[in-house]
Structure formats: structure tokens, C-alpha cells
Amino acid sequence: MKDSIIHLVRSNIKNLQPYQSARRIGGNGNIWLNANECPIPSLFTANITSFNRYPECQPKSLILSYANYVGLLNDQILVTRGADEGIELLIKAFCNPREDAIIYCPPTYDMYAINAKIANVEIKEIPTFKNTWQIDLENIQHNLNKVKLIYICNPNNPTGNIISKKDIIHLLKITLGFALVVIDEAYIEFSSKDSMVYFLKHYPNLIILRTLSKAFALAGIRCGFTLAHKEIINVLNKVISPYPISTIVTDIAVQSLSTDAIKIMRNRVLTLNLNRNWLINELKKISLVKKIYNSRANYILVKFHMFEKIFQHLWEKGIIVRNQHHKIYLKECLRISIGSYSECSRLIEEIKILSKI
């Protein structure tokens, strides 16, 4: 059966390694610090009682709510299934298979490259500078041939750093009329002053991806947004599926964008940022810690002595973190999502046990 099917598969898909999401990797435990989810839940009750009609492709109430939140016009916003769908739609709309290319700057979010592989679009991998994790502007500029999209994660996942606003603006200027610069702001609420939304009015080649999965604590509803000039939104509306956003998602998302809910979200961000600072300070006291990288997001990247033993010990204790050892420049590194205070305390306790062995 396998042989009779496999020859039908597109050649670029046969050996594709799918994205290893936290749920695909698995694990058994009750302290999940591997997916950058929010440990403090958002509690909403759905108002929808009937489901026999298809939803709007682009729900007006949701677009209006998000437009008010970010200070943009309705026609500058596309609602998507998480920010991930925005990544895919941009490649689908702007990149010709086997002709065009994207640039991405590892270590960073793998889905930029995976979506390009699926679409049979060339990938130009231009790593950030080691340890500072800033983009290599000179190298990018020398590799713009055939490039339609440049993906920049800010704050960057998994390193947690902010990309220099000056560098992003320079990149926007040198690519104007040639390529689109996509800033993935999935974690921007944890460092809101670093958002590029203000610059949308100045640069028609700027695109911003957002999500409700992180600071809004709504990873389970899969709701994201693409912010761009009207002309780009119109193009993306041509390739998005007919009914991407369910009525339940719209209902909950609109509730999460109310004035009161946004205040709750900001308090949640403050709590998690304080937890992050506490966790960093406690890790600094542990001898097994080699280095803690500065983070402006809801996770930290830590280099450990005996990183494999630490990862396995935590796994066996039901504390699931993310192994980053396989990524460029990230040898011996684990990414740790910021949990509740009790979860962070438990993590510290277990690492201290190993440090005494």
C-alpha cells in the first residue's frame, strides 16, 4: 500500500520533516513549559447556540475589535487561524514555486522555512549574529536576488531578544519595491514598546503577524491577525480559505478584546514578566547554568552543563521544557516557557537537586 501511494507524493514533500510542535513531541506531566503558552487561563463563556450557518470569512466584529486594539483601519487587518496561517498565505500569494525565495534568520521559528519547503520555494538561510541574535543586514542585502519575503521574529523565538528597530527600518528601506518584510510579533505584548505597528503608515512593504495565543492566553482557539496595507490584505483575501474563522472563535476573540479583558491581559503580562525575572535570578544561583540569554518574551533560553541530563530529569518529573540543542548556535540550550510562580519554583527545585549530585 505504501509503495502504491508514495510515488504520487510531490517530490518536495516526500522527505519533508514536519514541524515538531510541543504536542507532537509529547511528554507526560502537569507542568508544561515547552510551548510558550500562558499558564494563566482566560475564562470566557461562548454566546453561540446555533451552528447551522457558515461564518463570515472575515468577521466584521472581530476585525473592528482588533483594529481598535492596535490603532489601525479595518481594511489593514486579516483574521487568520493563528499567526501560522498568515505565514503560509504570504508565501502562497507572493512566491512562485521554484522561482522565488524567502529569507529567514535562524535560530528562529521553524515554520517560515517549513512553509517555504511545502510550497517548493527556495529558502535563503542567513543566521543572526551569534549571542547578540541581531540580523546580519549586510549578508541579507547581498542575497536579495529572487527574494519576495523576509521573515523576522520579534521578540525572536527561541532566543527571546528584541531585533533592533533601526535595523528593521534599514531593511525596510533597502527592500522597498523589491521584497516584503514580515515581522512576526507573536510575543510583542511582553515588550509592547518594540512593536512596528506605527511604521505601517510609512512602509508599504511592512507586514506584521499577531496572535491571541500568547499574552491573551487563547492558544486553544487558534486566532491570529495579519496587519498590512490595504492592497496586501486584498491580495491575501484572494487566497485564504472560504471560512477560516469559526463562529465560536470569533465570539471568544471579540470578548478577549473588550476594554476589561485587555486590562486583564496586561496584568497577566506583568505577572509573567515578574515570574521571568524571578526565574532568571534563581537560575543564576545554580552551578549547572552556563548562560541565561536576555529575554523580552514569555520564555527564556538557558545554556546548561549536563543539559541532556537536566532535560531528561525534568521530563521524568513531569516538567516538560524544549530542547534547542539541535539548532544553529544553540548547543546545550533549553528553552523554558514562563509558568506560574509555583511551576517556576518546582522547576528550580528539580534543577537544584541535580546540581547537588
Distance CA 30, CA 325 (A): 23
What is the reported pTM? 0.96
What angle is formed at CA 209 by the lines to CA 212 and CA 121, rounded to 5 degrees? 130
Domain 60-259 - what CATH class? alpha beta
Q: Of 3.10.350.10, 3.40.50.720, 3.90.1150.10, 3.40.47.10, which CATH number belongs to 2-39+261-355?
A: 3.90.1150.10
Provide DSSP, 165-177: HHHHHHHHHHHTT
Radius of gyration of the chain (CA): 21
Pick the closest to residue 157 from 196, 190, 108, 191 (CA basis). 108
Pair 184, 267: CB distance under 8 Å = no
Name residue 293's beta-bridge partners. none
Residue appearing with cell numbers 521530563: 315
CA distance 151 to 331: 23
Question: Would you write out the chain's pLDDT as a tens digit for each of its 357 residues?
Answer: 566 788 888 888 888 888 777 667 767 778 999 999 999 998 999 999 899 999 999 999 999 999 999 999 999 999 999 999 999 999 999 999 999 999 999 999 999 999 999 999 999 999 999 989 999 999 999 999 999 999 999 999 999 999 999 999 999 999 999 999 999 999 999 999 999 999 999 999 999 999 999 999 999 999 999 999 999 999 999 999 999 999 999 999 999 999 999 999 999 999 999 999 999 999 999 999 999 999 999 999 999 999 999 999 999 999 999 999 999 999 999 999 999 999 999 999 999 998 775
Domain boundaries, the chain: 2-39+261-355, 60-259
